[in-house]
Structure 1
Amino acid sequence: MPELPDLEVFAANLDKQFKGKVLKEIDVTVTRKLNVEVPELKKKLEGHKLSSVSRNGKSLLLDFGKDRMLGLHLMLHGELQMKEEGKEPRFPIIGFDFTDGSGFFMTDFQKAATPTLNPVISEVPDAFTMSKEAFLELLAGKKTEIKSILLDQKFIRGIGNAYADEILWEARIYPFSPAKAIPAKNAEKLYEAMQRVLKNAIAEIRKANPDQLSGELRDFMNIHHSKKTESPTGARIQTRKVGGRTTYFTEEQERFGLS
């Protein structure tokens, strides 16, 4: 699943490619998750100029003007693809054709990727908008394992499995430590690691593939990598599967609240 850094790059690239263009036609192939009828969607958006594309949590927001916002959530396997002359995409969910002949698609073989007209924007803070004070307060009140806190979109939005591991390793905090057991100074380091890891990842993705609209670039990751056996500082990378997710960690990460 694309996480905050991937989506930040996707949003910037869509904005660069399509900002200011007029939507000629929108084609919805899979309607089961669309929150309005297709005719209403077409009436709302067709003929209007795309003013911006941005990211909010794990969603992309296409702004066509007042009451004309379209949210795209890629879910687990959704992808964005540029329109190519004479080539039809596989597993399309929704397609966008602009008056200059350009366009793009959102696809998903599982048909789970979701378009939403005028989505309700969650009040849960994004990882980039959450203040340090709010982060420390969140951790202080939770007995839950710290990795679960980072992953829970009801507490903080944008982070997924891979970046949670990277953030916790960067802060040297054991992922299964109860959140409230982490001392304040270490919780502050965790907040700073979260900001640093996510910003560095965005820069790495842009450098490796400046026009990227799909995929999850992970080669630069320090420990969340199936082909790496040691951290950059030489510790053996260990894994543990919990709830269908594999956690990567090392003994460099300090345990808090565990006997």
Structure 2
Amino acid sequence: MPELPDLQAFRHNLEKALLHKKLKSLTVKNAKKLHATPEALQSALEGQTLEHIRRVGKELHFEFKNGHVLGMHLMLHGKLYLFQKKNEEKYPIVELLFGDGTGLVLTDFQGAANIFLDPEEKTAPDALSKAFNESYLETQLGKKKITIKKYLLDQHNVLGIGNAYADDILWDAKISPFSVCNKIPVAQIKVLLKSIKKILEEAEKKILKSKPDIINGEVRDFMLVHNSKLTESPGGAAIKKDIGGGRKTYYTDEQVLFD
């Protein structure tokens, strides 16, 4: 599933291709995960100029001049493609065609990608926002008896972090993913916050350097420990793998367990 750095890169390139263009037509091809009627989407968005594209957590929000917003959550297998005049990609969910003939299609062979009209405002802070700061994180973790990785993955706590980047963040902070939140010392929480910002911001730069025009897929070959091809961390420790909870967790003995 695309995570925060991936979506940041997608947003960057989609703005270059689509910003300030007028939406000629919106065509729903698969309404399985549509959180509005096709008619409501068309009425709100067709004929409107795209003013901004924002990343909100793991969603992309396409903001139009009249104030309406088209939200997309790609889920596990959703992909975005640009096209000219006619979409040729398989498994389309929704197609956007702009006045100059440029088009954008969201595809998903599972049909699980979500489409929203005017998504509700999120209650949790974004991982890269000013609101996600030492005070917030210390207060939050002091109340939680769950593991720190579970905390980071819960979008009700912090927006944008997924399984892969949680592993690299925790390795960089030298905190075991199995640490209990309210057992983590304050000094280490400060280190964790710094690692969150650093890992996510650096990842976006690496993705865009590797694939300057990327708007779909995932670039993971630069990751520090969450990488099935690696046997050792940058520090030389053996990378271990746990499959508890239905997801893979990569970690090393360099990380301290607070329990």
Q: How high is the TM-score relative to the length of structure 2?
A: 0.97
- Contact preservation (8 Å) 1:15, 1:54: no
Structure 2: runs of 5+ lacking an equivalent: none
The structure-2 alpha-carbon separation of the partners of 1:87 and 1:123, relative to structure 1 and needing over 3 Å to count, comes to: closer
Contact 1:70 1:119 in 2 (8 A): yes
C-alpha distance in structure 1 between counterparts of 2:86 and 2:120, whole Å: 36
Whether contact under 8 Å (2:238, 2:252) holds in the other structure is yes
Task: Name the counterpart of 1:89.
Answer: 89
Offset at 1:35? 2.1
Letter in 2 for 1:32: K
Aligned equivalent of 1:30: 30
What pairs up with 1:126-145 in 2 under 5 angstroms? 126-129=126-129, 130-145=132-147
Equivalent positions of 1:68-217 (< 5 A) are: 68-84=68-84, 88-129=88-129, 130-217=132-219
CA distance in 1, matches of 2:68, 2:37: 15
Choose 77-86 or 170-179, whichever is displaced more.
77-86
State the secondary structure of the residue aligned to 2:50. Answer: coil
Identity of aligned residues (%): 44
Q: Deviations over 1:121-177 (max 9, x none)?
A: 211111111122101111111110000000011111100000000000000001101
2:50 and 2:64 in contact (8 A); partners too: yes
Paired residue type of 1:120: E
User: Tell me, which stretches of 5 or more residues in structure 1 are unaligned?
Assistant: none
Q: Which amino acid aligns with 2:205?
A: A
1:224 corresponding residue in structure 2:
226
Q: Using the alignment, how far apart are the partners of 1:85 and 1:49 within structure 2?
A: 18
Q: Which residue of 2 aligns with 1:51?
A: 51
* Contact 2:35-2:117 at 8 Å conserved across structures: yes
- List structure 1 segments (4+ residues) > 4 angstroms apart after TM superposition: 84-87
Residues 38-64 of structure 1, C-alpha deviation per residue, up to 9 Å, x if partnerless?
122111111110001110011000001
The one-letter code matched in structure 1 to 2:184 is I
8 Å contact from structure 2 (residues 168, 199) kept in 1: yes
After TM superposition, give the deviation of residue 250 of structure 1 in Å. Answer: 0.3
Matching residue of 1:249: 251
Deviations 1:6-44 (A, max 9, x none): 001111111111000000111100113222221221111
Larger mean CA deviation between 32-41 and 49-58 belongs to 32-41
Q: Which amino acid aligns with 1:179?
A: C
Question: What CA RMSD, in Å, does the superposition of the two structures yield over aligned residues?
Answer: 1.1
Corresponding residue of 1:8: 8
The CA distance in 2 between the partners of 1:79 and 1:63, in whole Å, is 19
Query: CA offset at residue 255 of structure 1?
Result: 1.1
Deviation string 1:216-255 (CA, Å, 9 cap, x unpaired) is 1000001100010000111000000011100000000011
Q: Which moved more, 1:77-86 or 1:155-164?
A: 77-86
